[in-house]
Amino acid sequence: VSCILVKTMVVLAVFRTSKPGGNASLKWFGAGQQRGTVLVLTSFQAAICTAWLVSASPTPHKNTRYHNDKIVYECVEGSVARFGALLGYIGLLAFLSFLLAFLARNLPDNFNEAK
C-alpha cells in the first residue's frame, strides 16, 4: 500500500509542476526519496507487526463449545489493540492513497501511466 501511495504522490507532483510556479515541489520526489519513503512506511508497519507478535502473538484455540463431536480450531488474535493498530495503519495508508487518487482525478485525459 505504501508503494501505491508514493506512486500516486509522484504522479500528482509531476502534474503540479507543469503548472506555473510549481517546479520547486518536484525536487522532493526523486528516486532516492521515493525509495526512502516506501522504506520508512514499510518499516513502521513492520515495527507495529513485530510489537504485536512479540507481545501477544496469535495462538490456536480448541473450541468444543458448539460441536461436541468435532474440535474446531480458532485463531485467538492475542492483543486486540495491537492488531487494531496494525489494521488501522494499513487503513490509514489506503485512505491516504484513495484521497490522493481522488485529487488526481482531474489529470489530463491523454495521461497513460503505462507509458
Residue 69 forms part of a structural domain: yes
Beta-carbon count within 10 A of 33 CB: 14
Q: What domain range is 67 assigned to?
A: 47-79
Q: Which residues contact 17 (CB under 8 A, 6 or more apart)?
A: 23, 25, 26
Would 16 be classed as within a structural domain? Answer: no
Q: Convert the pLDDT of each residue in 12-54 to its tens digit.
A: 877 777 666 655 566 667 888 889 999 999 999 999 999 888 8
**Are the beta carbons of 73 and 61 closer than 8 angstroms?**
yes
| 20 assigned to some structural domain | no
Q: Which grid coordinates belong to 33?
A: 526519496
Is residue 62 in a domain?
Answer: yes
Model confidence, pTM: 0.73
Report pLDDT digits (tens) over 62-91. 877 777 777 788 888 788 888 899 999 999
Total domains in the fold of the chain:
1
Pairwise CA distance, residues 99 & 7, whole Å = 13
Q: Is residue 61 part of a domain?
A: yes
Whether residue 54 lies inside any domain: the answer is yes
